[in-house]
Amino acid sequence: MEDKFNDLIPRAEIRAFMQYLQNRAYVFVSVFSIGFLLGYPVSEQIIEWFLNSEGYKPNNVQIIILQPMEVVLLQLQMGAQIGFLLLILVFISDISWNSHKIIKMTRKKGAKFSERKIGNAAIVILTSLILGLIGIIYSHEILIPILLDYLSQDAIDSGLSSTWRLKSWIGFITGLYFSSIIGFQIPLVTILLIRGDIIKKESILENRRFLWFFALSFGALISPPDPLSLFLVGGPMLILLEISLVIDKIIFTK
């Protein structure tokens, strides 16, 4: 069973993929740094927007700041999230454009392989942005209202005062947005990896239960410990994974 899981990405592809990432590390680090430097000052405006917006703070909750550095630390966290989102967008585009180079590294000299690229970069970027927007809508309309109300009501039922720290409150909200944007990229990433011969579709099907377990575990890390919250965070990842496999079968399988 463990051997099957290890074969989700064949060893040759793993080595080639890791080598490719090392060769492109300076690009990815530069992209993250640019996103962080741009995101840090922008995060101040985002914090003010959260404080002045309705719907993010339940009526019975009071927001407090315990230390002067709390806002700075929150800005650093949000800047890192913005930098990572920009990195993911560039990474997805890079894989769609250069997957044939990765596969070439796994082939022996003289072996034939496809030189075609598996996706138009502009289409891939547009698709990634659309999926990210869907993730934002899902968080804004469903995930965040339910979980914030849950936390507030749980405190009331326990007889506790509903006092939330600024960093914990906004960090929790931005974390849910961030997780949804990343999670909703699963169909695109899965299709790109399958079409690029980096991951075999059969391996995904054979190891599906492990992927389900990791998705639910990820949901458990960022959500309150109850079945509803667990499904609201991890459930979409499972559904999107299945959708990506269906799309690959319908559109790309001859």
Q: What is the pLDDT along the chain (254 residues), one digit of tens a residue?
A: 444 444 555 555 666 667 777 878 888 899 999 999 999 999 989 988 888 887 787 777 777 877 778 889 999 999 999 999 999 988 888 877 776 566 555 554 444 444 444 456 778 888 889 999 999 999 988 888 888 887 777 767 666 667 778 888 888 888 888 888 888 888 888 888 777 666 777 777 777 777 777 767 766 665 555 566 677 777 887 888 888 878 777 776 55
H helices of 53-106, where? 69-106
Q: pTM for the full model?
A: 0.78
Comparing C-alpha atoms, which of 70, 71, 87 is closest to residue 36?
Answer: 87
Cα three-residue angle 44-50-54, rounded to 5 degrees? 160
Comparing C-alpha atoms, which of 113, 81, 89 is closest to residue 13?
Answer: 113
Residue type, 37: L
Tokens for 173? 């909200």
The values of phi and psi at residue 7, to 5°, are: -90, 10
Residue type, 72: V
Q: CA 124, CA 118: separation in Å to the nearest integer?
A: 10
Tokens for 86? 């920009």
Q: What length does the chain have?
A: 254
Tokens for 166? 């600024």
What is the three-class DSSP state of 217?
A: helix
